[in-house]
Amino acid sequence: MNLLGPIGLSHYLLVSAAAAAIGVTVIVMKRNAVAVLMGVELVLNSAALNLVAFSRFVVRDVTGQVVAIFVLVIAAAEAAVALAIVLNLFKNASSIRLDEADLLRE
Amino acid sequence: MAPETHTALWILLLPLAAFAVQILFGRRLPRQGDWLPTGAMFVCMMLSLWLFVTRVLASPSGMEPVAWSREWWAVGSADVGGFSLSFGVLIDNLATIMLVVVTVVSFLVHLYSMGYMHGDPRYSRFYAYLALFTFSMLGLCITSNLLFLFMFWELVGVCSYFLIGFWFEKKSASDAAKKAFLTTRVGDLGFFLAITIIAAVAGSLDFKEIFQSVADHKWEGGLLVLAGLLLFLGPVGKSAQFPLHIWLPDAMEGPTPVSALIHAATMVAAGVYLVARMFPFFAGPAFFESGDVSGSETLFVIAMVGGFTALFAATIALVQTDIKKVLAYSTVSQLGYMMLGIGAGSFVAGMFHLFTHAFFKALLFLGSGSVIHAVHSQEMGDMGGLWKKMPVTAWTFLIGTLALAGFPIVFSGFWSKEAVLTQALALGIHKGSMLAMLPFIFGILTAGLTAFYMGRCYVLTFLGRPRDVHKFAHAHESPKAMTIPLLVLAVGAIFAAGVPGAPDGIGHKWFEERTKKEITFDKLGIQTRVASGTPTPRGQPSVEHASGMHHAHEKAHTPTTVLSIAMAILGMGLSYVVFAGRLKNRDLVGQRGPLVACRGVLQNLYYVDRIYSKTIIAFVMMIKEVFFLFDRFVVDGLVNLWGWITRVVAHAAGSIDHGVVDGAVRATGSLTLRAGDSTRKIQTGRIPDYIFLSVFSLALIFALVAIPELKEVLLRIF
């Protein structure tokens, strides 16, 4: 992978991987439920980026880009639902700290 | 099998059958089954009397001996010192006479018990025991083998134990039963030793074989005497001779019918019968050759023991206050008389006395039972003047008393006593020494004492004024079941010595003709060797007595008759004077001189019992202690040790079971629990943890798929 040459597929993939990694890290490590959702967004967006990159450099048609838009829509819907769940969580537990939400604990 | 054998076996087995039924079903039968043994005994009595009348009385010399036997077991051959055992019966005059005695007295006792034992809680069992006893006694009389005689001998002893201890709730009764059995056992030891010696020397225990071995001189002199003395020990025990007489007075604890049957007429007579049956054995080979048995040491010992016992017991009877005890000591004394007769050389005299004695002693005992029943006491101190209240008893008792005392001519006792005393005096005259006269002296003194104490007994019981007015008022004659036997026995007491009109006249001749040596022993066909050394053919009568003894017998007749009559009348007269005369109602013993001094000794029975308990019994008790301690410490110690070991082992096993086995189970369980606990920790319920897990797993799978090397590694591990 020549990262110093012209912008190619590798660059896109690297960015997407980085974003995904960061996103996963955020999901795993954040205590705040909303922050976790942000991480989820990151991961989804990285997936979209991945799709777009492959669409431009490999497949050379718009299929990937269309799917990326689908991903965005799904991300949005999922964010709405997730926020509803977090709201319910807050209503019940008076806190959105995930490390305190251990009612499912055995 | 000859008809006599058949009859004899029926007579033997009927009582056994009666016993079997009575003991098992007695209580369920109507009237508790008293009619069953009584009926059986009646049949036996009739059969015995039939045998007696048709065989014994019918001909002048009675019957031919009838023998039947079956060989049972043989080791080696009889000639070469082997041994054979057979069982069988021998019916001859002697046996038939015994059968009559046993069955008649037994039947009368059965009848009597219907009245006397009425209402007893174990009524049916009493009859069962009586039947068993009668069976045993009959077996003893008809067997032809010494070993079987011994077996029946023991059986009779066992029945005596049962019957003496019939009222076993009373400690004195059960003690008396034990004493009787153990004392006779001592005698039986001698008996058994003699049996083994005889078996070894004669090679058989059949009477005929034994006598043959004596006649064949197979016995060396000293051994014969030893065996004879050992054999005599049996009768010393069973017939209550000194020093084994101690059980008979105590045996009075048993019911009176028992005393009449066993301890007057039959069981105690078994010893006398044995001595008579085995007479050739005691007498030695001289019996078959010259017929003069006065040289036999064994017989002399028997005569001395018998005579001494007679005198000894008579002196004790003088001071007894219990009517049954008087009769008991009288029995011991009379048994001594019988032994005296046999020992002096005339088994005929001894057996004849047994025959007459059976009747009048049974009569006296049953009569005393009647009195006891009326007055509810056995002490003569509570009696007196009873002849008014109980005439039948009084008259029959008088007949018995006169017979026992030897009142001349009319009463059978006189004749039998005379026979015994004549023989004793003849022995003394023949041998000529003071020692040989002793048996006679004992005998004649005893005759006087007998008359005296029986007179005393009669006077104190029936004459004079009643000593206990209360008891006297309640006294009444006994029921027919009890008085009928008394009457029958009274007739027997008189006529047992023949009647004036009968073929052999009055006296003992009828008995002698049928039981004398020629009939009883020679007819068994013993081969003898006379002095010349040639064997005489079978059945040939040998010399009756040697002329010396015969002479002495003739000479002894008159003095004996005179003296015995004198003694009888003197004794009875004196007793009347002392007890009914001026000294009426005084102390039952009499206040006169020498009697008082001796009274202490006599009343304590010469301390014989005391001596025994201090010495022999003390020794046995000591041994008992030793064994008891051994049992307690060694035997029980071992048992306890074993128990302790078992406990320890059980403990160990238990620990292993608890620790190892249960431990494994528990370990598995706890392992599972802990594994579960650990694994549960994954479920924290915290979302971030779950997210992490899933992401991590995902990454791992990616790596596995993407990096072939990792795949290899993983595959190699698994």
| Side-chain half-sphere CA neighbours of B99 within 13 A | 34
Contact between B489 and B104 (Cβ < 8 Å): no
> Of the candidates A33, A102, A106, which has its C-beta nearest B680's C-beta?
A106
**Which site among A22, A25, A26, A27 would you substitute to test the B interface, given the most B Cβ atoms closer than 10 Å to its Cβ?**
A27
Radius of gyration of chain A (CA): 17
CA-to-CA distance for B295 and B343, rounded, in angstroms? Answer: 11
Residue of B nearest to A23 (CA): B695
DSSP B348-387: HHHHHHHHHHHHHHHHHHHHHHHHHHHHS--BGGG---TT
The answer for residues whose C-beta is within 8 angstroms of residue B559's C-beta and 6 or more apart is B425
Residue B367 C-alpha from the chain's centroid: 23
Nearest CA distance, B699 vs chain A (angstrom) = 11
Nearest CA distance, A23 vs chain B (angstrom) = 11
Residue of B nearest to A35 (CA): B688
Contact across the interface for A102 and B685, Cβ inside 8 Å = yes
Contact across the interface for B687 and A106, Cβ inside 8 Å = no
pLDDT of residue B515: 67
- Count of Cβ atoms closer than 10 Å to residue A106 Cβ: 12
- φ/ψ of B291, rounded to 5, equals 85, -5
Pair of tokens at residue B68: 């039947």
In angstroms, the first-to-last Cα distance of chain A is 48
Collect all residues of chain A within an 8 Å Cβ-Cβ radius of residue B691.
Answer: 27-28, 36
Contact between B270 and B340 (Cβ < 8 Å): no
pLDDT of residue B534: 39
> Of the candidates B683, B687, B692, which has its C-beta nearest A106's C-beta?
B683
Distances, alpha carbon A49 to alpha carbons A11, A67, B73, in Å: 11, 11, 125
CA-to-CA distance for B528 and B213, rounded, in angstroms? Answer: 10
DSSP state of B630: I
Q: Where are the domains of chain A?
A: 9-105
b/e sequence B681-704, b meaning 16+ C-beta within 10 Å: eeebebbbbebeeeeeeeeeeeee
Amino acid type, B659: G
DSSP B18-41: HHHHHHHHGGGSGGGGTHHHHHHH
Contact between A24 and A43 (Cβ < 8 Å): yes
CA-to-CA distance for B39 and B49, rounded, in angstroms? Answer: 15
DSSP state of B322: B
* ipTM exceeding 0.90, yes/no: no
Q: Model pTM?
A: 0.72
Pair of tokens at residue A12: 């896109």
More confident residue, A67 or B316: A67
Nearest CA distance, B680 vs chain A (angstrom) = 7
Chain B CB within 8 Å of residue A99 CB = yes
CA-to-CA distance for B500 and B410, rounded, in angstroms? Answer: 10
The three-point CA angle A61-A64-A66 to 5° equals 100
Smallest CA-to-CA distance from B194 within B296, B306, B274 is with B274
Chain B CB within 8 Å of residue A29 CB = yes
Residue of A nearest to B689 (CA): A28
CATH topology (fold) of A9-105: Helix Hairpins (1.10.287)
Cis, bond preceding B37 (omega within 30 deg of 0): no
> Of the candidates A28, A102, A105, which has its C-beta nearest B695's C-beta?
A28
Residue of B nearest to A100 (CA): B686
Pair of tokens at residue B674: 């802990």
Collect all residues of chain A within an 8 Å Cβ-Cβ radius of residue B687.
Answer: 33, 36, 98, 101
Contact across the interface for A105 and B688, Cβ inside 8 Å = no
Contact across the interface for A104 and B683, Cβ inside 8 Å = yes
pLDDT in tens, A15-34: 999 999 999 889 888 888 89
CA-to-CA distance for B616 and B610, rounded, in angstroms? Answer: 10
Chain B CB within 8 Å of residue A96 CB = no
Residue of B nearest to A43 (CA): B695
B window 125-144, beta carbon within 8 A of A: none
Pair of tokens at residue A6: 């012209």
Residue of A nearest to B694 (CA): A28
Contact across the interface for A104 and B685, Cβ inside 8 Å = yes
pLDDT in tens, B265-288: 677 788 889 998 888 888 887 777
The answer for residues whose C-beta is within 8 angstroms of residue B539's C-beta and 6 or more apart is B522, B523, B525
Chain A CB within 8 Å of residue B698 CB = no
Contact across the interface for A36 and B691, Cβ inside 8 Å = yes
Chain B CB within 8 Å of residue A21 CB = no
Contact between B92 and B63 (Cβ < 8 Å): yes
Contacts of range B136-140, beta carbons closer than 8 Å, 24 or more positions apart: B137/B102, B137/B106, B137/B266, B137/B267, B137/B270, B138/B11, B138/B12, B138/B15, B138/B44, B138/B99, B138/B102, B138/B103, B139/B12, B140/B270, B140/B273
Contact across the interface for A36 and B680, Cβ inside 8 Å = no
pLDDT of residue B542: 37
Nearest CA distance, A85 vs chain B (angstrom) = 13
Pair of tokens at residue B574: 């004196």
B window 521-550, beta carbon within 8 A of A: none
> Of the candidates B684, B686, B691, which has its C-beta nearest A27's C-beta?
B691
Contact between B189 and B233 (Cβ < 8 Å): yes
Contact across the interface for A101 and B683, Cβ inside 8 Å = no
Smallest CA-to-CA distance from B110 within B98, B128, B94, B91 is with B128
Contact across the interface for B685 and A29, Cβ inside 8 Å = no
CA-to-CA distance for B419 and B439, rounded, in angstroms? Answer: 14
Smallest CA-to-CA distance from B369 within B484, B478, B475 is with B478
Chain A CB within 8 Å of residue B688 CB = yes
Percent of chain A predicted with pLDDT > 90:
64
Site of tokens 């009055």: B506
The answer for residues whose C-beta is within 8 angstroms of residue B695's C-beta and 6 or more apart is A24, A27, A28
Contact between B207 and B156 (Cβ < 8 Å): no
Nearest CA distance, A15 vs chain B (angstrom) = 18
> Of the candidates B684, B692, B695, which has its C-beta nearest A102's C-beta?
B684
> Of the candidates B683, B687, B695, which has its C-beta nearest A98's C-beta?
B687
Residue of B nearest to A105 (CA): B685
Pair of tokens at residue A36: 């976790």
Residue of B nearest to A102 (CA): B685
User: Would you call B31 exposed, middle or buried from its count of C-beta atoms within 10 A (0-12, 13-18, 19+)?
Assistant: exposed
CA-to-CA distance for B6 and B3, rounded, in angstroms? Answer: 5
> Of the candidates A28, A31, A105, which has its C-beta nearest B691's C-beta?
A28
Query: What percentage of chain A's residues is helix, strand, coil (to nearest 5)?
Result: 75, 0, 20
Read off the pLDDT band of A53 (50, 70, 90): very high
Pair of tokens at residue B87: 């069982």
Chain A CB within 8 Å of residue B700 CB = no
Chain A CB within 8 Å of residue B692 CB = yes
pLDDT of residue B232: 92
List average pLDDT for each run of 10 residues in chain B, which is 718 residues long: 78 90 84 83 90 76 70 61 72 84 90 86 89 92 88 91 90 89 90 90 81 80 87 90 85 88 77 88 78 77 90 84 88 90 86 87 89 81 78 87 81 82 84 81 88 85 75 74 82 69 59 67 61 39 51 73 77 72 50 54 66 76 84 85 92 90 90 91 78 86 82 80
Distances, alpha carbon B399 to alpha carbons A63, B394, B404, B446, in Å: 157, 9, 9, 20
